[in-house]
């Protein structure tokens, strides 16, 4: 018998499988316009050091993963969607220090304390509070003491305050079912503190490109205790 957690996981996977090709094409040059995102990713790369092994958790088509690999990191991108992993592998074939594997935020395919850091850019927003807590615990498990974490969430939007949820049922002509949670930065910080991360820096911003959803968002850069 399938429980709510399994159904939610299946919805995320099915949705991103359906839109993977369109998503990859739509946002192919998105990072080039995101000055602050590039600055934070670059700061993260300096924190972990050149040659460090890191995970891009919920990597999608792999644009941030490629950016970090080109800065000299060894990057493994992980995504629950096989369609997204296929797009990432197609788009970034041959990039040195970069690989992509299918996997879940709730059971990451890395050993304990095996990575110098991880990034999770909007990847926890589709998880309810209980599963987010599980994902944070997994991030703490895989990042070694002194390692870094860069995590981003949507915090609010018009009609959607922190703590609310938006149900998406159509995307680029596809009938889907996907929940998106708006999460207060303070909630994320409290949960990260519980699992062993200390805040290094925080950035709050609104949309920075014409294609971005009209939300407020928080970027949190932390160190593993």
> Which tokens go with 144?
């070694």
Give the separation between CA 135 and CA 119, rounded to whole angstroms. 12
* 174 confidence band (pLDDT: 50, 70, 90): confident
pTM to 2 decimal places:
0.95
Range of the domain at 168: 4-224
Predicted pLDDT of residue 2: 39
Please determine, for residue 7, whether its predicted confidence score (pLDDT) is greater than 90. Answer: no
Of 112, 119, 35, residue with least CA distance to 76: 119
Could you tell me the CATH number of the domain that includes residue 76?
A: 3.40.50.150
Predicted pLDDT of residue 176: 87
* 1 confidence band (pLDDT: 50, 70, 90): very low
Please determine, for residue 189, whether its predicted confidence score (pLDDT) is greater than 60. Answer: yes
- Per-residue model confidence as pLDDT tens digits over 101-139: 999 999 999 999 999 999 999 999 999 999 999 999 999
CB atoms within 10 A of CB 49: 12
> Which tokens go with 152?
């981003």
What is the mean predicted confidence (pLDDT) over 48-59?
98
Predicted pLDDT of residue 6: 56
Predicted pLDDT of residue 9: 79
| Burial call 164-203: b when 16+ CB within 10 Å, e when fewer | eebeeeeeeeeebebbbbbbebeebbebbeebbbeeeeee
Please determine, for residue 172, whether its predicted confidence score (pLDDT) is greater than 90. Answer: no
- For residue 7, how far is the Cα from the chain centroid? 20
Predicted pLDDT of residue 99: 98
What's the domain count of the chain?
1
Strand order in the sheet with 74-79: 98-102, 74-79, 53-57, 115-121, 143-157, 215-224, 197-205
Q: Is 51 helix (H, G, I), strand (E, B) or coil?
A: coil
Q: What is the DSSP letter of 219?
A: E
Q: For the chain, what percent of residues have pLDDT higher than 70?
A: 96
């Amino acid at each position: 018998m399938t429980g709510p957690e399994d159904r939610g996981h299946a919805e995320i996977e099915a949705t991103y499988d359906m839109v993977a090709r369109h998503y990859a094409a739509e946002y192919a040059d998105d990072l080039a316009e995101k000055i602050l995102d590039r600055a934070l990713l670059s700061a993260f790369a300096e924190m972990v050091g050149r040659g460090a092994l890191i995970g891009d958790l919920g990597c999608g088509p792999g644009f941030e993963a490629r950016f970090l690999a080109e800065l000299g990191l060894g990057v493994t991108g992980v995504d629950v969607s096989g369609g997204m992993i296929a797009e990432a592998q197609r788009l970034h074939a041959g990039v040195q220090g970069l690989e992509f594997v299918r996997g879940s935020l709730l059971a990451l395919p890395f050993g304990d304390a095996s990575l110098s850091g991880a990034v999770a850019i909007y990847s926890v927003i589709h998880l309810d509070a209980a599963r987010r807590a599980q994902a944070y615990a997994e991030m703490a498990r895989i990042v070694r003491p002194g390692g870094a974490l860069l995590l981003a969430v949507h915090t609010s939007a018009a009609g959607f305050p922190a703590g609310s949820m938006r149900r998406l049922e159509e995307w680029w002509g596809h009938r889907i079912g996907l929940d998106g949670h708006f999460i207060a930065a303070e909630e994320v910080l409290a949960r990260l503190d519980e699992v062993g991360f200390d805040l290094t820096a925080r950035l709050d911003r609104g949309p920075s490109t014409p294609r971005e959803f009209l939300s407020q968002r928080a970027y949190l850069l932390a160190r593993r205790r």
